Amino acid sequence: MKEITTDRIVIVGAGLGALYAALKLAPRPVVMISPEVLGEGASSAWAQGGVAAAMDEKDDPKNHAADTVKAGAGTVDPKVADLVTRHARDYILDLTRLGAPFDRTDDGGYVLSREAAHSFARVVRVKGDQAGAEIMKALIEQVRDTPSIQVLEGTMAVGLDTSDGKVTGIAIQDSDVSRSAPIMLRGAAYLLAGGGSGGLYALTTNPPRIRGQVIGMAARAGAVITDAEFVQFHPTAMDVGEDPAPLATEALRGEGAILINKNGERFMQAIHPDAELAPRDVVARAIFSQTQSGLRPMLDTRQALGAHVKTQFPAVAEACARNGIDPAVDPIPVAAAAHYHMGGIATDTDGRASLDGLWVCGEASSTGLHGANRLASNGLLEALVYARICAEGINADVPAIVTNTPNTPLNIQFETGGVAPDPDAVMTLRQTMTSLVGVVRSADGLKQALCILDGLETAHADSPSFLNMCATATMIAVCALLREESRGAHERSDFPDTFPGKGKRSTVLLSEALALRAQIAKDAA
């Protein structure tokens, strides 16, 4: 394999965490690996809700931390919750300084929305449902103007190289569908900020490339993975036949929108005291149950917002218009869709993975903040906090290399010879995850999924990107099989009860997951 060595810090990803870390590392030379043009294809840019922070004078970071712990159903690390929420306000002010155009009141304060399981209105928004896109836009402008940051657009990371438990390089390919022969890029340090796993499911709100590849390649290199089974399903993805499914932001329910079925029945009041603002896992299961029963769940914004929905929530209005829906007149069909992965690469409070020389931030990480059920709008906040933590850790631990030309850009020339994932195999994987490892799970279904994954990986072992997808899917299914209880976003039809007391986080190595998968496949043969 061709190798390129650089003194730059290598950042995999192009979402909020990657951009913010690159800016905090400046003037250290950085190279970002971005499969798409900056601003396209990152989950951060699709985030509609906003950033959670205790900005109201009556609110307090301790309240925010307590809500985070409560929503996480017994597996949140309280120290991490305190760490992330304590300085959340500072990150809002920093983003404002960097140009994020948060919605403001007439007296200059921040417009705050309340979302599910928050005890206060503390979600800072931009143009109603444009938070992710507008924050990303502001940071991308800063990144483009920072000479120390080089962005390799149209490039995808597919593997990690290690020596004695230390990461020594990252294999990259052209992200075009034809792919290229991989190049081993060896840098000064490595930060993974490449998103989650929602696209492993056929019904998802995530961008097309977010399919667990970053978690998978770390696992294949021997990194410890935690909480893999905890996948959050957003209750109100628009059920309009698009892939990915457009998102009907939770802020709509915060503004008073209600959930009804095709018979006009409002069903959440009988399920939870907070009705539509119950924790996401509760609402998602209710939506799923309505769908399974053929009752066609819908989000009704007519009375709460009327025609204002079109101006207050432009992304929702645009998606409705594409599909012939007028939300001022018609309820919006919704379904539960894979949205956020609480699990991922295990990190300590310094953002370090179990492999030496590797840092992780954002959705690919598992810090202990989200537990079994992420509190709404904590995802962008965690990405910001740990991006800075990782940048500070890299600066402290990795000596800067002084050169006469510190910002000389890398010249990457890909050659033919790579293998792209087979589209039919990817679709089979995604359909398997939705039908057998989805909102409600069982031992029989999970074992069936693992047998299918075993066969898919055997048949398509020549594509590293597909192997990464299979690795993450396998760990989700294995950890879901081993957790014989229902907790947070993890629902087992055959184990509906939750173990008493504080929950236990799951920990797995890919080698262990593959051994169990192989045994299950052998027993089924």
Using pLDDT thresholds of 50, 70 and 90, give the confidence band for residue 176.
confident
The pLDDT score that the predictor gives to residue 41 is: 74
pTM: 0.94
Q: Are 363 and 340 in contact (CB under 8 A)?
A: yes
> What does the block give as tokens for 466?
């597909």
**In the chain, what are the helix, strand and coil shares in percent, each to the nearest 5?**
35, 20, 45
- Please name which of 135, 119, 117, 114 lies closest in space to residue 46, comparing C-alpha atoms: 135
> What are the helix (H) ranges across 366-460?
378-397, 423-436, 443-459
The pLDDT score that the predictor gives to residue 352 is: 98
Residue with tokens 């010249």: 411
Parallel, antiparallel, or unpaired for β 2-5 and 183-186? parallel
- Please name which of 108, 102, 137, 125 lies closest in space to residue 14, comparing C-alpha atoms: 137
pLDDT in tens, 102-125: 999 999 999 998 888 899 999 999
- Please name which of 388, 252, 398, 245 lies closest in space to residue 323, comparing C-alpha atoms: 245
Catalytic residue, chosen from 125, 280, 388, 492, is 280
The pLDDT score that the predictor gives to residue 117 is: 84
pLDDT of 403 > 60? The answer is: no
The helix/strand count (H/E) of the chain reads as 16, 20
Using pLDDT thresholds of 50, 70 and 90, give the confidence band for residue 400.
confident
The pLDDT score that the predictor gives to residue 42 is: 79
The mean per-residue pLDDT over the stretch 171-186 comes to: 89
pLDDT of 401 > 80? The answer is: no
pLDDT of 525 > 90? The answer is: no
> What does the block give as tokens for 439?
């909102």
Amino acid at 380: L
Separation between Cα atoms, residue 106 and residue 127, nearest integer Å: 15
Query: Based on C-alpha coordinates, what's the Rg of the chain?
Result: 22
Percent of the chain with pLDDT over 90: 86
Separation between Cα atoms, residue 279 and residue 271, nearest integer Å: 11
pLDDT of 136 > 70? The answer is: yes
Q: Of 3-7, 206-210, 231-235, 444-448, which gets the smallest average pLDDT?
A: 206-210
pLDDT in tens, 237-267: 999 999 999 999 888 998 999 999 999 999 9
**Residue 280 annotated to the active site:** yes
| CA distances, 196 to each of 232, 320, 379, 434 (Å) | 11, 26, 11, 16
Q: Are 475 and 508 in contact (CB under 8 A)?
A: yes
> What does the block give as tokens for 52?
């959670």
The pLDDT score that the predictor gives to residue 178 is: 66
The gap between the terminal CA atoms of the chain, to the nearest Å, is: 37
The pLDDT score that the predictor gives to residue 329 is: 96
pLDDT of 362 > 90? The answer is: yes
pLDDT in tens, 405-419: 567 899 999 998 888
Separation between Cα atoms, residue 430 and residue 233, nearest integer Å: 14
pLDDT in tens, 308-341: 999 999 989 999 999 999 999 999 999 999 999 9
Using pLDDT thresholds of 50, 70 and 90, give the confidence band for residue 48.
confident
All domains of the chain, ordered by start, with CATH?
A: 2-152+340-397 (3.50.50.60), 246-335 (3.90.700.10), 423-524 (1.20.58.100)
Which carries the bigger pLDDT value, residue 42 or residue 390? 390
The answer to whether the peptide bond before residue 27 is cis (omega within 30 degrees of 0) is yes
The pLDDT score that the predictor gives to residue 467 is: 97
Separation between Cα atoms, residue 360 and residue 486, nearest integer Å: 28
Separation between Cα atoms, residue 19 and residue 6, nearest integer Å: 20
Residue with tokens 């299961």: 285
Residue with tokens 């306000």: 89
Spell out the residues 6+ positions from residue 35 whose beta carbon is closer than 8 angstroms to its own.
14, 41, 154, 155, 156, 175, 209
pLDDT of 135 > 70? The answer is: yes
Q: What SS3 class is residue 49?
A: coil
DSSP type of residue 17:
H
